[in-house]
Structures are given as C-alpha cells and as structure tokens.
Amino acid sequence: MPQEQTLILFKPDAIQRRLIGALLSRIENKGYKIAGLKMLQVTPELARKHYEEHVEKPFYPHLESFITSAPVVALVVEGPDAISVMRTMMGSTNGREANPGTIRGDYGTSRQMNLIHGSDGPEAAKREIPIYFQDNELCEYSLSLAASLM
Ligand code: RTP
Ligand code: MG
C-alpha cells in the first residue's frame, strides 16, 4: 500500500465557522498521520502559485479574494493512498452536489466556499507541499507509539 503525502488546506470559511477541530478530527479518526500543520494568511502571490491552473479562469478573481479573506490551516496528511482517500472524504467541489458523509456534503452548500482543499493527484501533491512547507517543517514519527499509550 503506497504511503502518500497530500497537501490539505482548511479554507477561510472553515476557520470563520470554527470548524478546524471538526475537520481535523475526521482526518485523525480516519487513521492518517499529520506530518505538518500550520496556520497562515494566504497572499495574492501565494494564491496565484497554488491555483496556477485556474489563474486564467473567469472565477479566479473570486477564488483569490476568498482564499485570501482570512487565514487557512495547512496540513500535510500522510498514510496509505492518502491523496485519493482524502479527495473521497472531501466530496465533490460543489457542496450541493457532494454526498452526505463527505466533508463538503455535510458542512456546506457553496461551490466556492467549500471548506477544504486537497491535492488532486501525486503530481499536484509533489508541487503543492513545498509551496506551504519547508522540509524541516515536516515531522517523521511512528504512530505505533499510540498503541503503547492505550
Ligand atoms: P480544490 O482545488 O480547492 O481542492 O478544489 P477542487 O479540486 O474540488 O476544485 P477545483 O476545480 O480545483 O477548483 C478550485 C477551487 O476554486 C473554487 N471554485 N470556484 N465556478 C466557481 O465559482 C468555482 N469553481 C471552483 C472552489 O473553491 C474550488 O475548490
Ligand atoms: Mg483542485
């Protein structure tokens, strides 16, 4: 089973709605490891870098003003098939179309303010993680320690 790392953001609407703990719990309850975690303010420059594939799209100005409107929480989530499983847990882009049981399906009705970002494939994860984290900000540790605490 491939151990993957994926870049996750809790977007400004998640912070405004005080859902950081709820979203983090879903990831921890799933059994994934948090390899990196920080809160930061996305600048327009950072937004253009992250969303470079969307910069020319008509919705980009709205996306940039949304993603820079309040801080985000950035995480590197690690575990078996973490990239695709996190995308499944997030649900479809539009909260009105996302299935119940998914993060977007359970918490929102907006296509833009959809709470969470996750890398959409291995290439994206490889590109996005270094945008938010330096190597020395990621932690290597074993979750097997958790078992010895029970
Ligand atoms: P993300 O990149 O944030 O994980 O979301 P995604 O893959 O599900 O969706 P994507 O197509 O990559 O779009 C990136 C983000 O832009 C906003 N968006 N607004 N037409 C619109 O108003 C529109 N379309 C997309 C959303 O915040 C979406 O997550
Ligand atoms: Mg995307």
Q: pLDDT value at position 91? A: 98
Instruction: Tell me whether residue 147 is in a domain.
Output: no
Note whether residue 104 is domain-resident: yes
Residue 102 domain flag: yes
Binding site residue list: 11, 59, 87, 93, 104, 114
Residue 149 lies in a domain: no
- CATH number of the domain to which 68 belongs: 3.30.70.141
Residue 150 lies in a domain: no
- Closest ligand 1 atom to residue 117 Cα is 4
Position 150 scores a pLDDT of: 67
**Binding site for ATP: what residues are annotated?**
11, 59, 87, 93, 104, 114
- The tens place of each residue's pLDDT in the chain, 150 residues long, gives 779 999 999 999 999 999 999 999 999 999 999 999 999 999 999 999 999 999 999 999 999 999 999 999 999 999 999 999 999 999 999 999 999 999 999 999 999 999 999 999 999 999 999 999 999 999 999 988 776 776
Overall domain count for the chain: 1
pTM tops 0.90, yes or no: yes
Dist CA 38 CA 27 (whole Å): 15
Nearest CA owner, ligand 1 atom 10 = 93
Are 2 and 84 in contact by the 8 Å Cβ rule? The answer is no
Query: Which residue range forms the structural domain that includes residue 97?
Result: 3-142
Cβ–ligand 1 contact at 127 (below 6 Å): no
For residue 20, tell me if it sits in a domain.
Answer: yes
Give yes or no for residue 114 CB within 6 A of ligand 1.
yes
Is 148 among the domain residues?
Answer: no
Which of 63, 67, 89, 113 best tests ligand 1's pocket when mutated (most atoms within 8 Å of CB)?
A: 63
3-state secondary structure the chain: CCEEEEEEEECHHHHHCCCHHHHHHHHHHHCCEEEEEEEECCCHHHHHHHCHHHCCCCCHHHHHHHHCCCCEEEEEEEEECHHHHHHHHHCCCCCCCCCECEHHHHHCCCCCCCCEEECCCHHHHHHHHHHHCCHHHCCCCCCHHHHHCC
